[in-house]
Structure 1
C-alpha cells in the first residue's frame, strides 16, 4: 500500500522532471541509479530516502522543500471528500434497503464480471 506522502513526492519529482525536459534515464544517470527506480519513485511505489531526495533535488535544481509543497491542501481536499462521502451514506448502511439490494445483486453476478464491475465502480467514484 502506497503512502499518500510518497505518491505526492513522486508526482512532484515527475512534474519537475517534465518542466526541465529531462527523461527518467537522464535523471537516473545524474543521481546514479537505474531509470526503473525513478519510475518507482514517481508512482509512489518506492519511498525516496532523505539522501536520495537530496540528490534528486540537486539534479533537478530545486530545494528539497519543493517536493512537499501543496501537500497540506491535498490532505485537506481528501479529508473534505471523505467527509462528503460519509455524509451521503446512511449511518447504518446495512439497514438501508437499497444498499442491501445492491449487495445481493452484486454477489449474484459471476465472479469475473463482478471484479470488472467493482473496478468500474472504483474508477467512477474516484472521478466524482
Structure 2
C-alpha cells in the first residue's frame, strides 16, 4: 500500500516535470535511472530515497523542500471534495499554465485581467 507522503512527493515531481516541459525519459536520463522508475516515483508506488530526491530536485531545478510543499494542508483537507492541489494533477490545467507563462508579460497581464472579469461575470 502506498504512503500518502510518497504519493504527495510523486505528484510534486510530476507537477514540476510537466511545468518545465520535461518528459519522464529526460528526467530519468538526467538522474541516471530508467524512466519506469520515474513512473513509479510519480505514482507513489516506489518511495524516493533522500539521495535520489536530491538528484531529482537538482535536475528539476527546485529545492528539495519543493516536494513537501502543501503536505500539511493536504492532510487537513483529506475529507475535502476537491483539494486545490489536485487541479495541478490535471494535464489540461498544466498545459494551460505552461501556455499562459509562454505569453509575453504585458499581454499575460491583460489576459489575466480578462479572465478575472469573465469569471466574475459567470
Q: Distance in 2 between matches of 1:72 and 1:20?
A: 25
When normalised by structure 2's length, the TM-score is: 0.65
Q: Structure 1: any 5+ residue segments left out of the alignment?
A: 83-128
Aligned to 1:51: 51
1:26 deviates by 0.2
The answer as to 2:40 corresponding to 1:40 is yes
Instruction: Quote the RMSD (CA, aligned, Å).
Output: 1.0
Name the structure where helix makes up a greater proportion of residues. 1
Structure with higher Rg: it is 1
Aligned to 1:16: 16
1:39 deviates by 0.1
Q: Distance in 2 between matches of 1:16 and 1:73?
A: 19
Q: Distance in 1 between matches of 2:20 and 2:47?
A: 23
The answer as to 2:66 corresponding to 1:66 is yes
> Deviating runs (4+, > 2 A) in structure 1?
none
Q: Which has the higher contact order (CA 8 A, sep 6+)?
A: 2
Deviations 1:9-65 (A, max 9, x none): 000000000001000000000000000000000000000000000000000000000
Deviations 1:57-89 (A, max 9, x none): 0000000000000000000011xx29xxxxxxx
When normalised by structure 1's length, the TM-score is: 0.62
